[in-house]
Amino acid sequence: NLDTAKRCVPGSGDIKCVNAFNFTIPPGVKNGDAIFAWTKFKNLGEREMYMNCAAVTITGGQDKLNELPLLFVANIGEISGSCGTTQSVNVDFPNPGKYV
């Protein structure tokens, strides 16, 4: 619900806001249908990587952005090579791009 998301302040402790996250879509993206994807890494327990996706329609873009950084991959065996994360340590993304 967008109205609820607008009222929520991430980190406020308000139970309605537990899944509210502020983010900025780069202004130069192309308009149209797209797949919006995000990843997360467990901070405690087994070293794992999670990914969620959503079908979105972007409007208000500038159709100027031609490339973004490659997806950072860790903790998934041969796909990520020897790259892994460390328990209780926040992930330091090596090339997050300028829209972090």
pLDDT in tens, 3-50: 444 566 666 777 777 666 667 788 888 888 988 888 888 888 888 889
Tell me what pLDDT residue 58 has: 86
Q: Per-residue pLDDT for 99 more than 80?
A: no
- Determine, yes or no, domain membership for 36: yes
Cβ(31)–Cβ(59) below 8 Å? yes
In a domain, 12, yes or no: no
* Interatomic CA distance for residues 91 and 100, integer angstroms: 13
**pTM, two decimal places:** 0.62
Name the residue range of residue 49's domain: 26-80
Q: Which residue has the higher pLDDT, 60 or 24?
A: 60
Q: What is the DSSP string of 34-89?
A: EEEEEEEE-SSSS--EEEEEEEEEE-S--S-----PPPP--SSGGGGTT----TTS
Residue 87 is assigned to a structural domain of this protein: no
Q: Using an 8 Å Cβ cutoff, are 58 and 30 in contact? A: yes
The reply to whether 64 falls in a domain is: yes
Q: What's the structural domain count of the chain?
A: 1
Is position 19 within any domain?
Answer: no
Instruction: Please report the pLDDT score of residue 11 as a whole number.
Output: 65
Q: What is the mean pLDDT of the segment spanning 79-89?
A: 84
